Amino acid sequence: MSYENVYIHAIDGTDCYVPIVGEFIKIKFYKLQPSKNYSPDDVTFLWSFRPGDIVKVEELSLGDGKLKRLAIQQKKPEKELDYNGFLYYIFVDKIVVNSYNKQKFQPQLLRLFSDLESEIWHYPKIKTVAAEFLSLTNL
């Protein structure tokens, strides 16, 4: 087995890329390993991929002129989308506000509504989408 850094897109107030160790599966594919920097409950540091995901990578420059392995596509999620992933998908417009998604993401939406009622900080875009979902239903 070989392990190498894979960079994933994240939101922490700005767009950024964070390194996470990936286990080499085959050319261009890595399985992301557990990271002490990842918390499925962190609403301020949203990750595009999570530990356990198998991702396709491309070598790209992130601005320092050096090529880095950048995760560009998820091939196999480890499990169901966790809260952090749900918030990230809202932030990057991967979750459409509709009745189907209202049902599909009901547990995450209930938690988000509870967070907002408790005045837990969330990105403004996430608050806007939460309000749109709330207008669809009486969750």
Establish if 24 belongs to a structural domain. Answer: yes
Which of these ranges, 20-34, 69-83, 105-119, has the smallest mean pLDDT? 69-83
pLDDT score of 76 more than 70: no
Could you tell me the residue range of the domain that residue 67 belongs to?
3-76
Note the pLDDT tens digit of each residue in 17-69: 999 999 999 999 999 999 998 999 999 999 999 999 999 999 999 888 899 99
Establish if 118 belongs to a structural domain. Answer: yes
The residues, ordered by sequence, that sit 6+ positions from 17 with a Cβ below 8 Å of its Cβ are 7, 8, 9, 10, 62, 68, 70
In this predicted structure, what is the pLDDT of residue 15? 84
Query: Is residue 57 located within the same domain as residue 118?
Result: no
Establish if 81 belongs to a structural domain. Answer: no
Establish if 72 belongs to a structural domain. Answer: yes
Mean pLDDT over all residues of the chain? Answer: 91
Query: Is residue 99 located within the same domain as residue 72?
Result: no
pLDDT score of 80 more than 80: no
Angle between helices 83-91 and 106-117 (to 10 degrees): 80
First to last CA, the chain: 46
Number of domains making up the chain: 2
Establish if 106 belongs to a structural domain. Answer: yes
Establish if 86 belongs to a structural domain. Answer: no
* CA–CA–CA angle 117, 13, 68 (5° rounding): 135
In this predicted structure, what is the pLDDT of residue 14? 85
Yes or no: say if 71 and 6 are a contact pair by the CB < 8 Å rule: yes
Largest Cα–Cα distance of the chain, in whole Å?
Answer: 51
Percent of the chain with pLDDT strictly greater than 70 = 95
